[in-house]
Structure 1
Amino acid sequence: MQSDSPQQRKKPSIYAAPPAEILLLDTPSALEAHIGTARRAVTGRYLEAHAHVQGLVSSWIGVENRVEHRIKSLLPPDERLVPGALYAAIAFLSGAILARHRALPIRAILPPVLGVAAATHFLPKTSANVGDYLGGLEDHYAPEVARVHEVGKAHTRMTWDRLSEGVEGGRARVREGVLAAVERLQGATGLKVREALGVARSIEEKAEKVIEEKIADFEGVVEKTEKKAEEAAKDRVV
């Protein structure tokens, strides 16, 4: 009798056989592929739009910061803006009211002239800073216009100096004529007209000093009232 081989005599394992590995391939359908492509395209467009909007916001914030810095540089710390700006606005509106029945050039020129004159008087440092800034812009972007502007200002300054000299000369001649007439009148009549004019002049100077003192006192009272109002407003806020 033929004996069994060792492999044939091997006993079966008491454990279950390990499961066979099954590899599943996830093959998307055509619809899923189209949906994925569309989703990726939309996501890319959204990211591009978001980056563009963020760039615009950053640019706008930069513009705001530059404008704020420029305005702060134009406003001197020792000059209050509120009263002077109100006076300039009132002068501008007054010019518009005065020129409303005049010719078109006068209606176009008078309000800004009065407004600029009032701003120059009540806000001299701010007006000077604004003028320098506008002059710098003019020199940078329109040098030819700036050159013509400078020539015009030079001619205007020369004309004003000549007018001032003429007015001063006229005043001097009038004063000399009046003094000569007073001397002749005093010599002919014996009246002390010159002394009387001197007394009147001294009285006028005293009256001017009193008026200036009253104006200064009134301004001091107004400043104190404004300070009290500001303190009261701060207390209310607190």
Structure 2
Amino acid sequence: MARNFYEDEEIKPVEGQKIVNGVLVDSPQSVQSVFKSVRQSIYNVYSSSVDYVNSGYDKYHKTERSVTTTVSELHDKNEDLVPNGIYVIVGALSGTVMSRQRGILSKITFPVIMGLVSFKYFLPQTFNSTKNFVWKLEKKTVPEIAHQQENLYNKSSQLIDTIETTADKSSQSISSSIDSLRTNIKKYTGLNLDDEATKK
């Protein structure tokens, strides 16, 4: 029986060498460091990608939850959303039909105006809640524009009050003049304009 002279020999790898499945593999330190660096770079890119995707998903999930919560809070539970919401959509579509033969400005504004009017008519409480929410959001995000709108609204309200006051005074003045005229006619002619026989 032949004796294998190498069977009792223990292979001891030196630095830069490894035993893989009983085979001595020579791998210089420089090659190992390059592969280690490549592996680390790939792992870092993978880890960053996973973190980015998870972060994006978390932001999307938070935004979606915030939007659904806000919409739920804006909707008044006493108003039926299903038929009334359809009426609002039909109103906006009616604005689109009305603006078909008109210019580009009409094609933009008519559907919006008709949609808002329908929204206010069919879902009044939800409309008011939405209007207040948009106003608060506008004050928070674009305070300069909100301030200008507030000033314009106040001036418009003052103008409307002035017109109403002037109209009331004019109406009172005209009423007073008519009463005075009736009194004078009765005084000088003897005719009573308030009498039923005179009116016939």
| TM-score normalised according to structure 2 size | 0.64
The 3-state SS of whatever aligns with 1:150 is helix
Q: Deviations over 1:41-97 (max 9, x none)?
A: 212221222122211211211111211221112112222222222112211221222
Matched residue type, 1:144: E
How many Å separate the matches in 2 of 1:21 and 1:111?
Answer: 89
Matches within 5 A, 1:129-144: 129-144=129-144
Moved over 6 A (4+): 19-22
How many Å separate the matches in 2 of 1:123 and 1:129?
Answer: 10
State the match for 1:153 in structure 2: 153
State the match for 1:52 in structure 2: 52
Change (3 A) 1:159 1:113: farther
Q: Deviations over 1:124-164 (max 9, x none)?
A: 11111111111111111222211221222234445556469
Matches within 5 A, 1:1-238: 24-25=13-14, 27-28=16-17, 29-30=27-28, 31-158=31-158, 162=163, 187=197
| TM-score normalised according to structure 1 size | 0.55
How many Å separate the matches in 1 of 2:116 and 2:47?
Answer: 50
How many Å separate the matches in 2 of 1:156 and 1:20?
Answer: 104
Which structure 2 segments of 5+ residues have no match?
Answer: 1-7, 18-26, 179-192
State the match for 2:21 in structure 1: none
How many Å separate the matches in 1 of 2:98 and 2:87?
Answer: 16
Query: Cα offset for 1:33?
Result: 4.2
How many Å separate the matches in 1 of 2:135 and 2:148?
Answer: 12
Q: Deviations over 1:206-228 (max 9, x none)?
A: xxxxxxxxxxxxxxxxxxxxxxx
Matched residue type, 1:27: G
- Over the aligned positions, Cα root-mean-square deviation in angstroms equals 3.6
Matched residue type, 1:124: P
Query: Cα offset for 1:24?
Result: 4.3
Moved more, 21-30 or 35-44: 21-30
Change (3 A) 1:141 1:87: same
Which structure 1 segments of 5+ residues have no match?
Answer: 1-18, 177-182, 191-238
Change (3 A) 1:101 1:185: farther
How many Å separate the matches in 1 of 2:164 and 2:85?
Answer: 31
The 3-state SS of whatever aligns with 2:101 is coil
How many Å separate the matches in 2 of 1:163 and 1:110?
Answer: 29
Flag the structure with higher helix content.
1
The 3-state SS of whatever aligns with 1:100 is coil
Max radius of gyration: which structure? 1
Change (3 A) 1:158 1:121: farther
